Structure 1
Amino acid sequence: MLQHQDHFHGSDLEKIEKIYGIRKEEIISFSANVNPLGISPLLRRTLTEHIDAITAYPDREYTSLRQCIAGYCGCEAEHVIVGNGSTELISLFIQIEHPKKAMIIGPTYSEYEREISLGGGTTLYYPLREDNDFHLNVADFTAHLNENIDLLVLCNPNNPTSTAITRKDMRLILDVCKQHDIFVMVDETYVEFAENMDEITAVPLTNFYNNIIILRGTSKFFAAPGLRLGYAITGNPDLIKAINTRKNPWTINSLAVIAGELMFTDTDYIEKTKSLISKERSRIYEAFASHPDFKAYVPKANFMLLRLLREDMNADEMFDRTIRERMMIRNCSTFPFLDNKYIRFCFMEPEDNTRLMECLMRK
């Protein structure tokens, strides 16, 4: 086994190729959390047929695209902001709000803390408890909110725990944040994978609260990370104006506009994705939940967190074992509050999932 301390992101296949001598094309990435169906056949055909779109600038207001997103999300088009991936929108929002002190629920995605730090702010973490299966205790959490906090960041469903906050609980959180003048940024990158998406998404709350912004993208659910198409939803007109004023024009190219307008109306692809993930999520969770070597946490998104229970098992060894069989999982020891006993993997095609399970469960 290699003794290096590298920890790999889902997009780091080139590093894997160099260290392990395995061609990246041979690796199935269970680490990237991307829809295993790939881009839809309809999208593939349409983009090919519209290649001439790059000869003209897109609509600067992205009116048609925002209308498609609004129809897909069930919100007003005026509440939608589009950007070059959700990462750009996170950065713009942090620059505008300029929080001095932010609270993040962890373990979670590291980009939030990075952007806050670049803006000169500091970050506090509220830890999800393992003895509560990483579910948020809303009453205890809201008791920790106060006027010294400017911003609350929530990933919902959360990465890497795959737990989720219901809209009912989100409303309670927003009420307390309103009292303390705290703005709430909710990253819903994985919400479309959730079985009970209608109970989780906070989009309807943007009609009643002006202290919330919701971020989504097309990288994971629509399997298009290279498209760099993200969007935000908020009912705060001042924030919308500030972001649009600061945002560079034409940050989304003409082909991405066409792709976006098609994606959000591709009901066949959307339903196939939801059906596949739902079936595999149940099958895989049940298999690991009944196995004595693992603690499986009930997943809401398209990935699952596992704790390794045997003393002779750790995340380094599991990563090494799976990558040698051309499968890449995520070692979660770099996430706050997790250690070398946690791994995460997403749900792929059934036959690939079965192969991964057999590899992980092997004595």
Structure 2
Amino acid sequence: MITPKEHFHGSDLEKIEAVYGIKKEDITSFSANVNPLGISPKLRTSLTEQIDAITGYPDREYTSLRSSIANYIKADKKHVLVGNGSTELISILVQLTAPKKAMIISPTYSEYEREISLAGGSCSYYALTESSLFQLDTKAFLKELTEEFDLLVICNPNNPTSSYISSQDLDKIFTICETKGILCMVDETYVEFAEDMEMITAIPLIEKHKNVVVLRGISKFFAAPGLRLGYAVCSDENLIHAVNARKNPWTINTLAAIAGEIMFSDTEYIMATKELMRTERNRICKQLSDCSNVKVYPPAANFVLVKILKEGITAANLFDAAIRKGLMIRDCSTFPGLDDTYFRFCFMSPEKNTELLELLFEFIREL
């Protein structure tokens, strides 16, 4: 039986095997937030034909890969940086800029604070509140951006709340930060899942604001976390040069670079993913909203944050019930500002989504 202090990340399938005796192959992870369609069909059929590429070193500049990314995101190639996952780029950016004090909008991904702390900096948090459905009050937030901060970190859409800041409001935030000498780091890991991505993404704003770095990767939307490919977009050429000078050469292997080029051009797969997310997000949220024992917060990404309203039931209880059926959700009580009534799950196949919803509703009724 899981204890209240045990929590599992979406990649902790081996730990779950040990605790529950369930083979990891039999677990559907609603916690990992990975595209349920799996890898791009175009990639699956094409990558093996490129196997001989590993006999040579990758292009140090990753020219072809950066061109593919630039075409995909509609940006200038010279503004595109690539790295061994967005995690490497976050780490290098923090090391280079060495922020003394960072502002982080929370609750959110814990890796930001870890990197800032390792670089000798400290963090302050601006808390999104349940009363505002975890949506940012931009006007109030702008008043908190003082000269004491030299870095602002935004996850947009945010994990775990699945809320977002519009690009219109981001423009206001970036402008204020620019006047105060604050670098803005925007993690857009989940933005491609959003139905109105063009209303959220900060990439069109980088030409206007040199103090902005936008980060993305292929782990979630393209279901390829094992390839370790991430990229950043920034119009500050001095910062780009400094990051490239700091990186080790060839941090992206040849096959990962080729895979990126293939994935970014698979428009059929991209559109199929967006349509699946749109229909399942709407269907699931409608069913959750009809249940009086839970509260659902409007999601922009491929996952949803839910609060249990029935007294005596915790997210740990629900996790335990679900994992015994081979369904893994995320207990969100470890996120600052969230208690043991919050859980998160991503949208999988319609069949698996229905299976999870049925278990959730049955569990809440039975206890």
Does 2:316 correspond to 1:316?
yes
Paired letter, 2:279 = K
In structure 1, the partner of 2:34 is 34
Mapped partners of 1:121, 1:340: distance in 2 = 30
Q: Tell me the equivalent position of 2:125.
A: 125
TM-score, structure 1 length as denominator?
0.99
- In structure 2, the residue matched to 1:178 is 178
Tell me, in whole angstroms, the C-alpha distance in 2 between the residues paired with 1:283 and 1:300: 14
**Residue in 2 that maps onto 1:5:** 5
- Corresponding residue number in structure 2 for 1:66: 66
Cα deviation, 1:12-48, whole Å, max 9, x if unaligned, reads: 0000000000000000000000000000221011111
One-letter code of the match for 2:235? G
Paired residue for 1:303? 303
Q: Is the 8 A contact 2:4 2:316 kept in 1?
A: no
AA aligned to 1:303 is: F
Offset of residue 313 of structure 1:
1.3
Determine whether 1:332 maps to 2:332. yes
| Paired position in structure 2 for 1:278 | 278
Considering only aligned residues, what root-mean-square deviation do their CA atoms show, in Å?
Answer: 0.7
Please report how far the alpha carbon of residue 289 of structure 1 lies from its aligned counterpart in structure 2 after TM superposition.
1.1
1:2 deviates by 3.1
Counterpart in 2 of 1:165?
165
Q: What CA distance in whole angstroms lies between the structure 2 residues aligned with 1:357 and 1:212?
A: 39
The equivalent residue for 1:354 is 354
> Any runs of at least 4 consecutive aligned residues in structure 1 with deviations exceeding 6 A, and if so which?
none
| Partner Cα separation in structure 2 for residue 354 and residue 11 of structure 1 | 23
Aligned to 2:51: 51
CA distance in 2 between partners of 1:53 and 1:39 (Å) = 20
Distance 1:39 1:72 in 2: 17
What secondary structure, in the 3-state scheme, does the structure 1 residue paired with 2:66 have? helix
3-state SS, counterpart of residue 108 of structure 2? coil
CA distance in 2, matches of 1:41, 1:270: 11
Structure-2-length-normalised TM-score: 0.98
Instruction: Tell me what 2:213 maps to.
Output: 213
Distance 2:120 2:296 in 1: 38
Alpha carbons 2:308, 2:314 under 8 Å: kept: yes
SS of structure 2 residue aligned to 1:243: helix
- Residues in 1 aligned to 2:199 and 2:4: alpha-carbon distance in whole angstroms: 43
Give aligned-pair identity as a percent: 60
Structure 1 position 4, deviation (Å): 5.2
Q: Which sections of structure 2, spanning at least 5 residues, go unmatched?
A: none
Query: In the alignment, what sits opposite 1:146?
Result: 146
**DSSP-derived class of the 2:81 partner:** strand
> Structure 2: which amino acid aligns with 1:123?
C
1:275-309 Cα offsets, whole Å, 9 max, x none, are: 10110000000110111011000000000000000
The alignment partner of 1:325 has SS state of coil
Cα deviation, residue 180, structure 1: 1.1
Deviation at 1:189, TM superposition (A): 0.2
Q: Give ranges in structure 1 of 5+ residues lacking alignment.
A: none
Superposition map of 1:78-89 within 5 A: 78-89=78-89
Instruction: Look up the SS of the partner of 2:154 in the other structure.
Output: strand
Residue 5 of structure 1: CA displacement?
Answer: 1.7
Helix, strand or coil: the match of 2:69? helix
Give the secondary-structure state (helix, strand or coil) at the position aligned to 1:333. coil
Query: How far did 1:209 drift?
Result: 0.5
Q: String of CA shifts for 1:303-324, please: whole Å, max 9, x gaps.
A: 0000000112111101001000
Q: Deviations over 1:195-234 (max 9, x none)?
A: 0000100001111101000000000000000000000000
Tell me how far 1:58 sits from its aligned partner: 1.0
User: Aligned partners of 1:186 and 1:108: how far apart in 2?
Assistant: 12
After TM superposition, list the pairs within 5 Å mapping 1:211-290 onto structure 2: 211-290=211-290
Secondary structure at 1:153 match in 2: strand
Q: Distance in 1 between matches of 2:47 and 2:297?
A: 39
Segment of structure 1 superposing worse, 174-183 or 111-120 = 174-183
Corresponding residue SS for 1:321: helix
Separation in 2 of the partners of 1:290 and 1:207? 44
Secondary structure of the residue aligned to 1:292 is coil
In 2, Cα distance between equivalents of 1:315 and 1:2: 11
State the alpha-carbon separation in 2 of the partners of residues 254 and 46 from structure 1.
Answer: 14
- The letter for the 2-side match of 1:32 is A
- CA positional deviation for 1:3: 2.6
Give the drift of 1:50: 1.1
Give the secondary-structure state (helix, strand or coil) at the position aligned to 1:37: coil
Aligned positions, number? 363
Once the two structures are superposed, residues 74-130 of structure 1 have per-residue CA deviations (whole angstroms, 9 ceiling, x without a partner) of 100000000000000000000011000000000000000000000010000000011
Code of the aligned partner of 1:132? S
* CA distances 1:132-168 after superposition (whole Å, capped 9, x unpaired): 0000000100101100001000000000000011100
